[in-house]
Amino acid sequence: MADKLKILTAADFESRRFKTRDVPAPELGGALRIREFDGEQREAWEMEARRRFRAGEEADMRFARAQMAARVLVDQEGDFLYPPDDQGNHDEETLRRINRNLGGILLDRIYDEAMDLSGLLVRALDDVRKNSESDRNGSGSID
């Protein structure tokens, strides 16, 4: 007989622990811990990508890797190393500090691992592109 699925309660969601991964950082003599995006972070990332695609804008890559690092770097307890403001953003000075303190190769490694851990690889970008194209053609809708 198959096991029954547990019906989840609000308490189950509130106690959820997000997946983490340690990213090797030999440049710093150890590793850095990253955390997967929560639903709000993922939706914000996808909405921004969709908005840029619809507008035909080139992505502003000026702080892309620092922004990702700020959004995912956590300590051993899972608390963000760079807590966002009330709107979920990081100020430019914080992003500049991250860029100055972490080398480009390490930022690339953090970015790639965070994309993978949060399920934001090419598959997700293709979904954004498909949804945006169908929205442009009037055959889809995005609420």
Reported as a single tens digit per residue, the pLDDT across 30-55 is: 999 999 988 888 888 778 777 777 77
Strands 73-74 and 30-35: antiparallel
Alpha carbons 141 and 143: distance in angstroms, whole number: 6
Q: What φ, ψ does residue 26 adopt, rounded to 5°?
A: -60, -25
Q: How far is 24 from 103, CA to CA, in rounded Å?
A: 13
Strands (E) located in 41-107: 73-74
pLDDT in tens, 6-19: 777 777 666 667 89
pTM above 0.75, yes or no: no
